[in-house]
Structure 1
Amino acid sequence: MSNNIREYMAHVSRHLFKVLDIAGASEYVRNTRQQCELVGDVLASLTYGIEEGDVAIYTFGSMSEGTTTPGMNSDTDTMMCFQLYPVFETKADVTFEDMNTKYGKKYGDNDYTYFLMLNDGETPIGFCKLEIILGIVMEPTNPNFSLHVCMDINGRCVITNSCMVDAMDQDERNGPAATTYKRPGFTDLDYIPSFRCAKWPSVAEEFLTRKRKYGFPSTDMAADFASFGIFFVPTGHSDSLEKHLQWRLSFSLQERKIMLNLNPTQFKCYILLKMIKEDFVKAAVPGKSLTSYQCKTSIFWSIEKTHPSIWVESNLVACLVKCLHLLKIWIRNGFVPNFFMPPVSIWKGSKAICKMVTCIIDSILKDPIEYLLSLKCDRVGSLLRRSLETCIEVGQKRQEETEKSDNYFREAKRTLHLSVHRLHYSFSSDTSHMCVGLLHHVSSDDDIDSCIVNHRGLISFLRNTTKMSKLMFQPLNYVQQASECVLPFLLTSYGSQLASKSLLQPNAGTHEQAMAHLKTGQHSGYL
């Protein structure tokens, strides 16, 4: 590559970087989306955990990562993890110390119902069956699903992967998800039921031990990955005779951790890959072909294989080209390696689809800047063209063209501001709704002393944000923000309960406590 071409790509990269900010991929919007979704996860987990049983809520994909823009209309992927039934890889791993601590029980290991990962010759790598081991003690059931037990080909008692999705209200089945809100004007909402194993699986041991020349992911991050464990989502291998009994291993928490730590150039590169997928691949190739997850995988592998100094603003186009080159090679060979389990391919397209997608990517690589100038998503192509035109000396431009360009940028900024406003409004509305649900729960008992005890217990739990973070496997900073959202409502409600008791029982000595909690709650900025 000549110096002139390299300098021109750097010039376009800097303009493209700023254009993406206007289109909705700025660090402010990215962080706002992440905060709204991840704080909402913590609040939703609290609500579901109290009202529906032991269910943890996780939002994955574009919304929680902040890797979307107003024009993408991305899906919301919400995982509902049913934690009452833990998964273990082997019987040697079985222990219920955490369960006893969490639920305050003192049962023996034989009392709990749990699942064992079952891998045999009938199960492809990346999938497993879940053998059910019934406990003596009858656990409380969740009305959202029931376990369907079936005998596999080897005579083992396993649970079917349809037992949870089929029990949920949905418009359609989409892989492991039950898709709802499938109608005009709404973002598609995918509910993905799951179970969880607290231990990193041995089948993915290579990820933790492989040598990384450029230190990505970092040693500390990889250590966190191991502590997250993995999920099991209800979908089997499409070519397997026992696909209705298989569960796919999911590393969603690890993926989200990486995405939350991408630098601005890496983040914008992924945004561009998704836009290219939507505008040039999806529009030309029928059915399912290139996916956002495959684009994300190309980012992960590219970062691992390149020096960190490459991922800077002036190299945005060059980094995009590198990822597209990698995707082209993979898809041409019909094999896209999973980042956490490289022997597993995440490509599902036919040979005909491979050829079509490869041809499209090859065309883009021949003239990437021209294709970037043609992007329709969020008007990025037009904004980039106008941004580059402003570099021409003012004397060479007509006044009307300058005004037209300025109007175009103002309209793009207005669209973004409206989108951010809706984001803040939705977060405030959802937070208020969940706070009302929590208040209703702790105040549902007619006995005022019971209400006070319920309030005190929940307030104590919310103040121990470190424990909450470990139990929910959510980032500590988002757990702290969620706690700050809810505590004022609980404190004022708790103060009201104490004040009521002081009126009913004047000698109870609760008046001063009531006033203190009311003042603490009312002085918060969240009320």
Structure 2
Amino acid sequence: MTRLGYGEQIRRWRVEKYKEQDSLMNARSSDVTVITAGSKAEGLTCYFESDRDDILVLEGIICVEAGIHLHTIPNGIGVYRMDTHAYSGHCRLLLERQARKHFKIIHNALCDNGQGDILLSSSLFLNEMSAVPHTKSVVYHKPAGPSLPTSIGREFHSDNVCALRCHCPSILQRWASRPRHWPSPVLVQKVVSLGANVTAVGFKESEFKHMEWRIGFNTGESELVNNLNDTQAKVYVMLKMIVKDVLRPSKKEITSYVMKNIVLWQAERNPQNKFYAQSFLHWLHDGLRALRTAIVTKQLSYYMIPERNLMAASGLTYRQQSHWVEVITDMMAEGPWVILGLPKIRRAVVASPEPMLWYSMKRMELEMLNMEYFNRYVNGVLDKSDAILQEIQRRLIEIMMEIKLRMIEEGCAVNDLTDIRYRMLK
């Protein structure tokens, strides 16, 4: 798994590079803060391996729990009161104070509930965001939940989720005060300090879902995953592979987010010294067992707000339940051989050691150079006379030519260097 790009060193490097990228992008705008989330923020996927998840936080607005006094919030900041009388982990937003800065998107999503309250509609907000003028080079796809997916060519795919900042100390303190083996008190306080956000999606089975917003902790969750040790991170990656390549849900009945929560619960409930390289298969089986239970019972508590059931309204059918339970049970019975059922792992295991090591080194260098190039692009450094940029471009071409020649030697006809780059980093 380390040679496939899931090792500790490259994982930590990716995390830092995406943080750097966010800082560079946010230096350009005061209206929206971009936060890389998901597998990219966790350093657990290669450059083109999965979609990029971006949280776009509108500045100048905050949503607060009951009991938070307006005088504690600076003037000019728009304030919405969170009505949490909804399905756990969701809320409705009641306008308390208009923001000094006018957002047309927000204004057009306001509704009168007929009782003297002004509410911010999640469905109208999403409609307004979808109607924002498009950039010509970007292809905009049909919204999926709170996400507005986009793509540029076949390489760059992004799930963009617009969000509002959320101040919910009581929810975070309930999470922080739980008895646990992990995370450490220092990390717990850091997660609390990172706060929360709300995104424009209600509970699927709610009568008022068009008015509801979902409470999330993206930055805090990324920080937690980034503090998993090497064994825990690899269990998480392997569980995601099993869902994608073996179970293959067609309508997101089971998602990688479910796997993340299983691993976080594992980490919290067990001593950290039990997670070491030789225990990998034990914890993989434990994760599979937890997944099987979640499928059978349609119940898995959200790590940050346990009252919220991540399997509620998942759309799981009885037929899917029966089939997936049987598949997972068979996988668990296979013991260590279970990993050979995953195409990516199987190819790496049967590959000759020397070519695999060579491939791994080239892929890692190619990814690092691409990230450095993109961060310079974000920073506005695209002067063709720039010596560092020239050296990055030269080395990129050199690596792709080396790969091309090796592929030709092994009987594979390839000509397009761009295609080689994409396939190496996917």
Give the TM-score normalised by the residue count of structure 2.
Answer: 0.80
What's the CA shift for 1:69? 4.4
- Spell out, residue by residue over 1:337-373, the C-alpha distance to the aligned partner (whole angstroms, 9 max, x if none): 1011111111113242333322221111111322212
Match of 1:67, SS state, is coil
Q: Does 1:210 align with 2:199?
A: no
Q: Does 1:307 align with 2:271?
A: yes
- 1:285-324 alignment runs, 5 A limit: 285-324=249-288
Match of 1:66, SS state, is coil
Q: 1:176 aligns with which of 146, 159, 166?
A: 146
Alpha-carbon distance between aligned partners in 1 of 2:218 and 2:206, rounded to the nearest angstrom: 23
Alpha-carbon distance between aligned partners in 1 of 2:114 and 2:246, rounded to the nearest angstrom: 44
- Spell out, residue by residue over 1:80-134, the C-alpha distance to the aligned partner (whole angstroms, 9 max, x if none): 111211121125332455x4xxxxxxxxx4x5432111233xx211100111123
Q: Does 1:46 align with 2:9?
A: no
Q: Does the CA contact (< 8 Å) of 2:106 and 2:120 recur in 1? A: no
Structure 1 residues 91 and 300: CA distance shift in structure 2, 3 A:
closer
Q: Does the CA contact (< 8 Å) of 2:25 and 2:379 recur in 1? A: no
Structure 1 residues 359 and 116: CA distance shift in structure 2, 3 A:
same
Paired residue for 1:354? 321
Structure 1 residues 279 and 368: CA distance shift in structure 2, 3 A:
farther
Paired residue for 2:356? 412
Paired residue for 1:383? 348
Paired residue for 1:156? 117
Q: Does the CA contact (< 8 Å) of 2:65 and 2:167 recur in 1? A: no
- 1:76-475 alignment runs, 5 A limit: 76-90=52-66, 92-96=68-72, 99=74, 109=75, 112-120=77-85, 123-135=86-98, 139-141=100-102, 147-152=108-113, 156-162=117-123, 163-164=125-126, 165-168=129-132, 169=134, 170-181=140-151, 185-200=154-169, 202-203=170-171, 205-212=173-180, 214=181, 216-282=182-248, 285-347=249-311, 348-352=314-318, 353-377=320-344, 380-384=345-349, 386=350, 405-406=351-352, 409-436=353-380
Paired residue for 2:411? none
What's the CA shift for 1:256? 0.7
- Spell out, residue by residue over 1:475-511, the C-alpha distance to the aligned partner (whole angstroms, 9 max, x if none): xxxxxxxxxx9xxxxxxxxxxxxxxxxxxxxxxxxxx
Alpha-carbon distance between aligned partners in 1 of 2:340 and 2:109, rounded to the nearest angstrom: 53
Q: Does the CA contact (< 8 Å) of 2:82 and 2:92 recur in 1? A: yes
Alpha-carbon distance between aligned partners in 1 of 2:253 and 2:211, rounded to the nearest angstrom: 26
Structure 2 counterpart of 1:290, one-letter code? I
What's the CA shift for 1:412? 3.4
Alpha-carbon distance between aligned partners in 2 of 1:435 and 1:187, rounded to the nearest angstrom: 19
Higher helix fraction (1 or 2): 1
Structure 1 residues 204 and 155: CA distance shift in structure 2, 3 A:
farther
Alpha-carbon distance between aligned partners in 2 of 1:290 and 1:92, rounded to the nearest angstrom: 36
Farther-moved stretch of structure 1 (423-432 vs 224-233): 423-432
Q: How many residues are aligned here? A: 372
Alpha-carbon distance between aligned partners in 2 of 1:309 and 1:153, rounded to the nearest angstrom: 57
Structure 2 counterpart of 1:207, one-letter code? W
Q: 2:6 aligns with which of 9, 21, 25?
A: 25
- Spell out, residue by residue over 1:267-326, the C-alpha distance to the aligned partner (whole angstroms, 9 max, x if none): 1111111111111111xx443222111111110111112222210011111111111111
Alpha-carbon distance between aligned partners in 1 of 2:225 and 2:179, rounded to the nearest angstrom: 21
Match of 1:335, SS state, is coil
Match of 1:370, SS state, is helix
- Spell out, residue by residue over 1:153-183, the C-alpha distance to the aligned partner (whole angstroms, 9 max, x if none): 7552111113153244431211111000076
Alpha-carbon distance between aligned partners in 2 of 1:125 and 1:312, rounded to the nearest angstrom: 35
Structure 1 unaligned runs (5+)?
A: 1-19, 100-108, 387-404, 440-484, 486-527
What's the CA shift for 1:194? 0.4
Structure 1 residues 119 and 308: CA distance shift in structure 2, 3 A:
closer
Match of 2:341, SS state, is coil
What's the CA shift for 1:64? 1.3
Q: Which has the larger radius of gyration?
A: 1
Alpha-carbon distance between aligned partners in 2 of 1:93 and 1:235, rounded to the nearest angstrom: 26
Q: Does 1:63 align with 2:40?
A: yes
Structure 2 unaligned runs (5+)?
A: 135-139, 389-426
Q: Does the CA contact (< 8 Å) of 1:196 and 1:231 recur in 2? A: yes
Q: Does the CA contact (< 8 Å) of 1:62 and 1:68 recur in 2? A: yes
Structure 1 residues 314 and 142: CA distance shift in structure 2, 3 A:
same
What's the CA shift for 1:438? 13
- Spell out, residue by residue over 1:228-269, the C-alpha distance to the aligned partner (whole angstroms, 9 max, x if none): 221101101111121111110001122111111111111111
Structure 1 residues 264 and 92: CA distance shift in structure 2, 3 A:
closer
Give the TM-score normalised by the residue count of structure 1.
Answer: 0.65
Alpha-carbon distance between aligned partners in 1 of 2:357 and 2:122, rounded to the nearest angstrom: 45
Higher strand fraction (1 or 2): 2
Paired residue for 1:480? none
- Spell out, residue by residue over 1:156-214, the C-alpha distance to the aligned partner (whole angstroms, 9 max, x if none): 2111113153244431211111000076x2242011110012342x34543222212x2
Q: Does the CA contact (< 8 Å) of 1:199 and 1:226 recur in 2? A: no
Match of 2:143, SS state, is strand
Structure 1 residues 433 and 356: CA distance shift in structure 2, 3 A:
same
Structure 1 counterpart of 2:369, one-letter code? Y
Q: Does the CA contact (< 8 Å) of 2:112 and 2:118 recur in 1? A: yes
Structure 1 residues 143 and 149: CA distance shift in structure 2, 3 A:
closer
Q: Does the CA contact (< 8 Å) of 2:46 and 2:367 recur in 1? A: no
Match of 1:320, SS state, is helix
